[in-house]
Chains A and B, each alone.
Chain A
Amino acid sequence: MSSMDRGILSEFDLKRKGTRAGYIIMLVVIFLMAASMVYPVLTTAFNGLKDNAEVNSFPPHFLPQTWEWGNFDEAWNYIALPTFLRNTLLIFGGNMIVSVLVLGTASFSLSRLHVPKRRSIEMFFMITLFIPPTTYLIPNFLNLKDLGLLDSFFAFWLPAGANAFFLLLLKNFFDGISMEIFEAARIDGASELSCFIRIAVPLSLPIFATLAIFVFSTAWNDWFWPSLIMHKDSHYPLSTAIYKYVIQAKMLNLNIKFAILTLVMLPPIAVFLVFQRFIIRGLHLGGVKG
């Protein structure tokens, strides 16, 4: 083993009995951690497949004794999932478009164009990162009400552009694109606008993908804020609807409840497993600042 292959422990350490035992205990603990992460996910899915008497039996079984696939039919029809799903996707799509248009142009400008008083303008945007959102949660709601946006999807779409964290993410990305490309384009007679549309945007597709993942996870997750600003049932996104009609439901059978939760849980897990690389990279880009 070369010195670059080792970690804190060397091969020599692992030959000693005590250390070896400690290492194995560590492996077991890490394995248990991983199992405890996966167990609740599987349990949700399996509970959704049991019959109702079995979900409520004590002690609980892990695997269903009879596999009730029909639960999922019932779960699908219990609430209007397609409507709520459509709302969530509408919010996601609109938020994404506004973020890309508004923050894409602004970050390109801050990164590449001539701007007077650049420091002050950057401060104007970035200071909002340091103001805790809960402190203006209710004023934010009142502001949207004053603007007449309550119960409208614009209450999600327009504020989506007011995100200093995404602005920072995009600006850092544009900072990394080499200046020569733009200079070459400018010499060839390209305007700033066509520099942005024909060079910056195509180059920044990976960072937009990272952005899309953040925006998706917010749209899919957020339940409380939509419940404040949307008043009609038919306007709720999926999470809010699940909270109101499934989590808070008193009369709903437990197995059907779990079947619904499984249906809601699977799409983001699938997205995560497929785009794992992007997501974990996005986390590193954004984790510390977020």
Chain B
Amino acid sequence: MSQDIVAATGPQAQAGRGKARTLLRKYGWGLAFLLPAAAIFILFLWLPIIKGFFYSFYHIDFVNGDEFVGLDNYRTVFSDPDVWTAVKNTLYYMALCLVMGFWVPIVFAIGISEIKRLQGVFRVAAYLPNVIPVVVLYGLWRWMYDPVGPINAGITSLFGGEGVSFLTDTKWSMISLVFMETWQQFGSAMLLYLAAVLSIPRDWYEAAEIDGAGIWQRIWHITLPSLRSLILLMLVLQIIGTSQAYQSQLAILDGGPVKATLTYALLIVKYATTRLDMGVASAMGVLMFIVLGALAIVQYRLDRKGDR
């Protein structure tokens, strides 16, 4: 890097333009330090983002070369019934994640904040599944959900009956995935909420209690309002995150049974890997970009607010 600078300083100094020299002296190091990052960001982030738009108008062929096909890829997307199934599944998955998962870390954060001893143990325990490699979890949970696995053993010994086909029943498959992911991921959100709950001044509760506020009133009027901006931010992040989900759907069920867990992002992956049509996959990415772009603007606004 220092060589860049020497090379750039040499000719400039000889040119003898005073202004350029002062600018260079002022900004030279700053720009030189930014140069490698700028190159890498352009090459590996901005270039693919921009290329995506171009690829979406091409038929990608590794052997015969790419061919411009106009809007054909987009026509394929809109006429493929699987796309609509995938959109519906993705919305269903996002809704399930909100209903089954979003409140869990908030409730446990408030609960654990009230524990006086061994709080650290519960924190570590809740975060533990986050550090297990996801491929291990895929193997583990396939067995957990097995018709002869431990969950079904529990159900049949408690209630009798047949047990539940968690993964092969189209009614249950998506719910099972969401349950697994909630179990795996709620710990990290919980720790963030917990820090926020613990930072609420204790004397607010004291004052509220003296004024006769009950426990639920204290939670409703003090704890939750204090968490509001964090809850909002987590909500937006979760919506953005869940709208792009495909890995567990792919790894555990490959989109099945009967396309019940085929999400939009998984269909992108399938178009690229098994249907070998990367142009259509790129077009689906562009469409997703347009929809999520609106959400990203919301996230950006919230982020700015949080910084202030």
Chain A interface residues (CB < 8 Å from chain B): 3-10, 12-13, 19, 23, 26-27, 29-30, 33-34, 36-38, 40-41, 43-44, 47, 56, 58-60, 98, 101-103, 105-106, 108-110, 113-116, 121, 124-125, 128, 130-143, 145, 147, 158-159, 161-162, 164, 167, 191-193, 196, 217, 220-221, 223-224, 228, 238-239, 242-243, 246-247, 254, 257-258, 261, 264-265, 268-269, 271-273, 276, 279-280, 283-284, 287-289
Contacts and interface: CB of A to CB of B under 8 A. Distances in A.
Contact of A193 (B2, B114, B123, B209): B2
B126 A138 contact: no
Interface string B209-238: 100000100110011000000100110010
Contacts of A143: 44, 47-48, 51
A243 B138 contact: yes
- Determine the main DSSP class of B at the interface with A: helix
Contact of A288 (B44, B137, B192, B285): B192
Contacts of A238: 133
B231 to A, nearest CB: 11
Contacts of A167: 37
B281 A10 contact: no
A261 B126 contact: no
A125 B202 contact: no
A145 B121 CA distance: 46
Interface stretch (B78-86, B165-173, B295-303): B295-303
Contact of B48 (A4, A30, A139, A239): A139
Given A106-B36, A137-B285, A139-B285, A276 B135 contact: no
Nearest to A103: B37
B74 interface: no
11 contacts: A8-B114, A59-B150, A109-B29, A128-B49, A137-B272, A139-B49, A158-B44, A167-B37, A224-B269, A243-B251, A265-B136
Nearest to B26: A114
B68 interface: no
A268 B303 CA distance: 31
Majority secondary structure of chain A interface residues (helix, strand, loop or mixed):
helix
B268 A137 contact: yes
B110 A8 contact: yes
A273 B137 CA distance: 19
A247 B142 CA distance: 9
Nearest to A213: B131
Contact of B195 (A257, A279, A284): A284
B244 interface: yes
Interface in B41-55: 41, 43-49, 51-52, 55
B15 interface: no
Contact of A37 (B126, B222, B271, B288): B126
A32 B272 CA distance: 43
B131 A272 contact: yes
A30 B111 CA distance: 7
B27 A116 contact: yes
Contacts of B102: none
Nearest to B195: A284
A239 B1 CA distance: 36
Given A6-B202, A161-B37, A131 B49 contact: yes
Contacts of B157: 59
Contacts of A135: 52, 244, 285-286, 288-289, 292
